[in-house]
Amino acid sequence: MDREAIKEKLQTIFRVVFDDNTIELSDAMTAEDVEEWDSLNHINLIVAVEKEFGIRFTTREVYAANTVGEFVDMLEACLRRQGKIT
Amino acid sequence: MREFLKTAFLFATGLAVIFGLLSAVYATRVSERDNFYDLLKRFENQDVRPSVLILGDSRPIFGLRRKFMDNAIYNFSFPSETYREMLLKAEYALRQKPSIRYLIIPIDYHMLSSFYAADKDATHLFALASSADIRSVYEFSPGALALAVLHGYIPLTDPEARVTFITVIKKDVYSLLSGRVEKRTTFVTADGDLVPTDETSWSEFSAAAKEARADRRIHDHLRSGPVVTDAMLRALDHLLSFAAEKGVGVIGVRFPVTTEYENRMREVGLDGVDAAFAERKNKFVSELDYLRWSREREDFFQDADHLNSKGAEAFTKQFVADIRNVIK
Amino acid sequence: MSFQSVPFLVSLAISVALYSLLPQRWRSVFLACLSFAFYLTWSLPYTLLLLLVTVYIFYLVQKLDEAEETRKYRILWQGVVLLVVLLVAGKYGREVLMSLPAIGLSSSIVNLVAPLGISYYVFKLLSYLMDVYAGKLSAEHNFAAFAAYVSFFPQILAGPIQRAVDFLPQIRAARQAQPYQLSSGLRLILFGLFKKLVIADALSALVAQIYKYPKGYTGFELLITSYLFAIQLYADFSGITDIAIGSARLFGISSPKNFENPFYAPTIQEFWRRWHITLTSWVRDYVFLPIRMKFRYWGWVGLTLSIFINMILIGLWHGATSPFLWFGIVQGAYMVVSVFTLKKRDAIFARIPGIPVFRLIWQSALTFTLVSLSLIFFRAENLRMAASILSSILSRSFFHLGIGRLLETINLVWGDTRFVVVVLALVYMEIIHLVQGNLKWRAYILSCPTALRWLVYYAMILILFFFGDQSAKPFIYFQF
């Protein structure tokens, strides 16, 4: 699975969690750009991603990602580290 | 940046101009109408050549009427004056009128209290004393003196003056809008007495109202701190030694108060005051105690510790007679 | 030296002038020294404490940055534990010591005060420590810049709590303030003083008088009083924040916002996003999110727990007494109910046509009421008083709509002139707040003729001068 595919899958998750089919992910996007994306929903998003990709994040990783782009990079590194992708 | 500094300077100048204008308005509407200066001017009149000078606070000024005093006795008291003001006024008066042989000062129970000690407003006194004298009598630090001078010459820097200013301006605006002239709280009569605009009679108040008013007066006078303070004792001693130095006799007077006031007063421990005055007994030519004078005539009083015009008339007659006896 | 004093304003002006005259590389040193000197005017021993803690964290974080992965965690916890212990000891130590039977009555304990600004600078240090650990920024090697960050005098007394990642680049660049920053900074300081001295202090006198004998007022009057206290708190705190942000701006440094028209928030969640923003976001980022992560598989139990811990912590940050604890619990309850029912409520009301506008007004009014009621815990001296006031408001006496006693008290404490001034000042304050929040209106106002704008500034200064409270009441948020 390459970065684009990861991003695609992530976009689907976003659309489900935030109940909005028009969400289009871009690397520069942050929580401010999505209406439902606040601290309360953030964890719902994390849990959904973890479930969908079959991985577990550390608090530190979640914390360090400020934008969608960083989130995707972090996700990719995590998948690689946990042997889900090569 | 230069533009900014220029703009800032312009802004500050505008502010200074506005402040100057307001100060000018204050000078005409407040300072010049301050009864203190009116009374001071009357004192300075050449024809005034008393041999007995009365100094004190609101009790002597409201409680005496010039009409019943002869030219030998002059009432130079003013509301809220403490021993500090009296000292500076005495120094000034003796310079101006060397005919003075006797000073009459109050020995009421609130004269030594922290209520009076805390009054550091020297604004009036810049008209008759030097900054150095004011500094020493008020025991000002250099900073406090600078502040007092500032308040004296630019009154609007004093928060209390600003409150007065607003009250006066409000009255002026009402007068302008309604066409009526708003009355002042106190004014100087043709005779040169200071009287309140609305004369009341203590007998008209209900018992509860009397108690409440007496309570409030005592609370202000005697319950805001110690009843005897070192600052006031120093001022008193300074005044007494100044008088002795000049060969001027000092007569101590205790002015009339209502029953309700005295009852409340006795609840506060006053032994310290009695002791302080007893210690200085030999510095006084005489002491006249009118604390219970005409107590039963409630219509003589306007509030808990001040006489109204009717009472002042009766009191002055008695007072002058007693003073003459002492001086003989 | 307090913010609303002449010495402060004069020193500020002189400092800004000196700062701009200094060469760029000396500016952070100057700012750090200035901030410590400012702190010194409050207390010498606590200045030493501040210095020690700053030095310690400075070196600790450098060590953390250079350490390998396994050691990083341990160093992090070393720092966190020290800072938390310091904060708890500093803020609550006195109360704890006083409750111990043997030591309790010693007079030297009674005279102890909490170190000034400890809640604020410890939070800054904690955020710095954790941000470096998470890799958001690298450790600072310039001590002057770091010291300036921790002790920055506009922010040390009552925030805003700025993050290192935001502040440090600014202090490193140390750019002199542009003219527009100078004028906007000065305007903000003037506005802050106005809010504090004309509005907050006047309301404080009124509320204090009512709180002396709350039993003498009807439930309805007490409800209004709780609204007044909320407004007082807002004017006081946003006032000091404006002075803080304005002062910082004079040095060319921009600070984060702390308020955004909080009383118009339709929900409790939204309220906390607009009130004391830097505190809420701090607790969210460094407490709520980690705890939420830990409990993320616990479903709604995890969410409820996280919310309650978050709000109780915010309550206790203000003070270690039970009223503040209850404030946190009540806010937690509000939040949980709101979060869990919001979607359903939105769904129900979306179906009814024409409702939206009314709903917005109703929601804001309800939220403002709920917040004001919870703030009774802030104001009442103890739990008993808070409970009695609340029960009075919520009981049958609420339905007596008479406000006679309240009007009497207003007449006693303010008189008619002051009343008019306060009302007009409140309207003015809200207009300015709304303008500040809207870029278009703001641009329009700023493009108005200078003479007109200056008239407004002169009016503000004069009202401040004649009606501003002179008794120098401390800012409420100083004590935190």
C254-283 pLDDT tens trace: 999 999 999 999 999 999 999 999 999 999
Going from the C-alpha of C114 to that of each of C38, C110, C120, the distances in angstroms are: 17, 11, 12
The per-residue DSSP string of C391-453 comes to: HHHHSGGGG----HHHHHHHHHHTHHHHHHHHHHHHHHHHHHHHHHH-HHHHHHHHTS-HHHH
**The pLDDT of residue A54:** 85
- A40/C136 CB distance under 8 A: no
Q: Is the pLDDT of residue B292 over 90?
A: yes
φ, ψ (nearest 5 deg) of residue B206: -70, 165
- B1/C454 CB distance under 8 A: no
Query: What's the farthest any 2 CA atoms get from each other in chain A?
Result: 34
Q: Is the pLDDT of residue B77 over 60?
A: yes
User: Which residue type, as a one-letter code, is found at position C298?
Assistant: W
Q: Give the whole-angstrom CA distance, residue C423 versus residue C437.
A: 22
- Identify from C465, C469, C471 which residue to disrupt to test chain B contact, counting B C-beta atoms within 10 A and taking the largest count: C465
Please work out, in degrees rounded to the nearest 5, the angle formed at the alpha carbon of residue C464 by the alpha carbons of C463 and C465.
90
**The pLDDT of residue C345:** 79
Chain A with chain C: Cβ pairs closer than 8 A: 39
Q: Is C233 helix (H, G, I), strand (E, B) or coil?
A: helix
Q: Answer whether C303 touches A (CB < 8 Å).
A: yes
- A64/C135 CB distance under 8 A: yes
- A47/C133 CB distance under 8 A: no
Residue B41, classified by CB atoms within 10 Å of its CB into exposed (0-12), middle (13-18) or buried (19+), is exposed
Q: Which residue of C has its CA nearest to B162?
A: C466
Tell me how many helices (H) and strands (E) chain B has. Answer: 13, 9
User: Which residue type, as a one-letter code, is found at position C337?
Assistant: V
State the alpha helices, DSSP H only, in C195-218: 201-212
Going from the C-alpha of B291 to that of each of B109, B258, B305, C264, the distances in angstroms are: 10, 8, 10, 63
Q: Which residue of C has its CA nearest to B7?
A: C183
Residue in C199, C278, C225, C150 with CA at minimum distance from that of residue C476: C199
Q: Give the whole-angstrom CA distance, residue C330 versus residue C372.
A: 12
Q: Is the pLDDT of residue C393 over 90?
A: no
Q: Is the pLDDT of residue C397 over 70?
A: no
- Quick check: bond before B155 cis, omega within 30? no
β pairing state of B186-188 and B102-106: unpaired
Smallest Cβ distance to B166: which of C179, C458, C466?
C466
Residues B57 and B305: beta-carbon distance below 8 Å: no
The residues, any chain, with a CB within 8 Å of residue B285's CB and separated by 6 or more, are B102, B249, B250, B251, B326
Q: Give the whole-angstrom CA distance, residue B188 versus residue C466.
A: 28
- B4/C454 CB distance under 8 A: no
Q: Answer whether A47 touches C (CB < 8 Å).
A: yes
Going from the C-alpha of C157 to that of each of C153, C195, C244, C318, the distances in angstroms are: 7, 17, 9, 14
- C134/A42 CB distance under 8 A: no
Which one has a higher pLDDT value, B32 or C407?
Answer: C407
User: Which residue type, as a one-letter code, is found at position B133?
Assistant: D
Residues B147 and B120: beta-carbon distance below 8 Å: no
Which one has a higher pLDDT value, C114 or C334?
Answer: C334
Read off the tokens for C57. 């964290």
- Residue ranges of chain B whose CB lies within 8 Å of a chain C CB: 1, 3-4, 7-8, 11, 14-15, 18, 22, 156, 159, 162, 165-166, 170
**The pLDDT of residue C184:** 92
Element spanning A78, H or E = helix A68-81
**Chains adjacent to C (≥3 CB pairs closer than 8 angstroms):** A, B
Give 3-state DSSP helix, strand, coil % of chain A, rounded to 5.
Answer: 60, 0, 40
Q: Answer whether C420 touches B (CB < 8 Å).
A: no
The residues, any chain, with a CB within 8 Å of residue C442's CB and separated by 6 or more, are C435, C436
β pairing state of B301-303 and B249-254: unpaired
Read off the pLDDT band of B56 (50, 70, 90).
Answer: very high
Q: Do chains A and C touch (3 or more CB pairs under 8 A)?
A: yes
Going from the C-alpha of B171 to that of each of B159, B313, C395, the distances in angstroms are: 19, 31, 44
- B14/C417 CB distance under 8 A: no
Read off the tokens for C96. 């704890």
Q: Is the pLDDT of residue C99 over 80?
A: no
Provide, as residue numbers in chain C, all residues whose Cβ is less than 8 Å from the Cβ of B156: 465
**The pLDDT of residue C112:** 67
Q: Give the whole-angstrom CA distance, residue C414 versus residue C228.
A: 14
The residues, any chain, with a CB within 8 Å of residue C99's CB and separated by 6 or more, are none
Tell me how many helices (H) and strands (E) chain A has. Answer: 4, 0
Read off the tokens for C106. 């010693």
**The pLDDT of residue B106:** 96
- A43/C293 CB distance under 8 A: yes
- B162/C466 CB distance under 8 A: yes
As a residue count, chain A comes to 86
Q: Give the whole-angstrom CA distance, residue C50 versus residue C56.
A: 10
Q: Is the pLDDT of residue C435 over 70?
A: yes
pTM beyond 0.90 = no
The residues, any chain, with a CB within 8 Å of residue A15's CB and separated by 6 or more, are A21, A23
Q: Answer whether C136 touches A (CB < 8 Å).
A: yes
Q: Tell me, what's the ipTM?
A: 0.82
User: Which residue type, as a one-letter code, is found at position C352?
Assistant: I
Residue C292, classified by CB atoms within 10 Å of its CB into exposed (0-12), middle (13-18) or buried (19+), is buried
Read off the tokens for A78. 């995590």
- B14/C454 CB distance under 8 A: yes
User: Which residue type, as a one-letter code, is found at position C64?
Assistant: L
Highest mean pLDDT out of C209-218, C227-236, C353-362:
C227-236
Q: Is the pLDDT of residue C415 over 70?
A: yes
- Identify from B166, B169, B171 which residue to disrupt to test chain C contact, counting C C-beta atoms within 10 A and taking the largest count: B166
Provide, as residue numbers in chain C, all residues whose Cβ is less than 8 Å from the Cβ of B25: none
Residue A54 to chain C, least CA–CA distance (Å): 14
**The pLDDT of residue C478:** 62
**Digit-coded pLDDT (tens) for B166-196:** 888 888 888 888 877 767 778 888 888 888 8
User: Which residue type, as a one-letter code, is found at position C137?
Assistant: L
Residues B91 and B53: beta-carbon distance below 8 Å: no
Residue C179 to chain B, least CA–CA distance (Å): 6
Q: Answer whether A77 touches C (CB < 8 Å).
A: no
Residues A67 and A28: beta-carbon distance below 8 Å: yes
**Digit-coded pLDDT (tens) for C139-184:** 999 999 999 999 999 999 888 999 999 999 999 998 888 899 999 9
Q: Give the whole-angstrom CA distance, residue C291 versus residue C310.
A: 9
DSSP structure class, residue C288: I
Provide, as residue numbers in chain C, all residues whose Cβ is less than 8 Å from the Cβ of A42: 289, 292
The dihedral through the CA atoms of A69, A70, A76, A79 has a sign that is negative
Read off the tokens for C236. 């006081």
DSSP structure class, residue B126: G
Highest mean pLDDT out of A47-51, B26-30, C240-244, C318-322:
C240-244
Read off the pLDDT band of A59 (50, 70, 90).
Answer: confident
Residue in this structure with the two tokens 């802050």, named with its chain if needed: C192
Read off the pLDDT band of A2 (50, 70, 90).
Answer: confident
Residue in C126, C152, C480, C81 with CA at minimum distance from that of residue C282: C126
Smallest Cβ distance to A63: which of C134, C294, C339?
C134
Q: Is the pLDDT of residue C104 over 60?
A: no
Q: Which residue of A has its CA nearest to C302?
A: A43
- Picking from B63-77, B217-231, C85-99, C367-381, which range would have the lowest pLDDT averaged per residue? C85-99
Read off the tokens for B325. 């006896």
Smallest Cβ distance to A39: which of C135, C284, C297?
C284
Q: Is the pLDDT of residue C297 over 90?
A: no
Q: Give the whole-angstrom CA distance, residue C247 versus residue C155.
A: 9
Element spanning B43, H or E = helix B35-44
Smallest Cβ distance to C293: which of A38, A59, A66?
A59
Going from the C-alpha of C285 to that of each of A39, B116, C280, the distances in angstroms are: 8, 57, 9
Going from the C-alpha of A17 to that of each of A37, A47, B58, C336, the distances in angstroms are: 9, 10, 80, 19
Q: Answer whether C458 touches B (CB < 8 Å).
A: yes
Q: What percent of chain B has pLDDT over 70?
A: 100
| Angle, helix C219-250 to helix C179-194, in steps of 10 degrees | 160
Q: Is the pLDDT of residue A26 over 70?
A: yes
- A59/C289 CB distance under 8 A: yes
**The pLDDT of residue B272:** 92
Q: Is C267 helix (H, G, I), strand (E, B) or coil?
A: coil
- A59/C288 CB distance under 8 A: no
Which one has a higher pLDDT value, B278 or A22?
Answer: B278
Read off the pLDDT band of B328 (50, 70, 90).
Answer: confident
**Digit-coded pLDDT (tens) for B78-100:** 998 999 999 999 999 999 999 99
**Chains adjacent to A (≥3 CB pairs closer than 8 angstroms):** C
Provide, as residue numbers in chain A, all residues whose Cβ is less than 8 Å from the Cβ of C293: 43, 46, 57, 59, 62
**The pLDDT of residue C480:** 62
Q: Give the whole-angstrom CA distance, residue C79 versus residue C131.
A: 13
Provide, as residue numbers in chain C, all residues whose Cβ is less than 8 Å from the Cβ of B4: 179, 182-183
**Digit-coded pLDDT (tens) for C1-31:** 788 888 899 999 999 999 989 998 899 999 9
Provide, as residue numbers in chain C, all residues whose Cβ is less than 8 Å from the Cβ of B14: 454, 458
Q: What percent of chain C has pLDDT over 90?
A: 54
Read off the pLDDT band of C121 (50, 70, 90).
Answer: very high
- C454/B170 CB distance under 8 A: no
- B4/C183 CB distance under 8 A: yes
- Across chain C, what does the average pLDDT equal? 88
**The pLDDT of residue C472:** 60
The dihedral through the CA atoms of A21, A27, A29, A30 has a sign that is positive
- B18/C470 CB distance under 8 A: no
Please work out, in degrees rounded to the nearest 5, the angle formed at the alpha carbon of residue B155 by the alpha carbons of B150 and B158.
80
The dihedral through the CA atoms of C295, C298, C302, C303 has a sign that is positive
Smallest Cβ distance to B3: which of C179, C462, C466?
C179
- Picking from A64-68, C212-216, C287-291, which range would have the lowest pLDDT averaged per residue? A64-68
Q: HSE (CB half, 13 Å, CA atoms) of A26?
A: 6
CB burial of C433-457 (b: ≥16 within 10 Å; e: otherwise) equals: bebbeeeeeeeebeeeeeeeeeeeb
Provide, as residue numbers in chain A, all residues whose Cβ is less than 8 Å from the Cβ of C284: 39
Residues B93 and B43: beta-carbon distance below 8 Å: yes
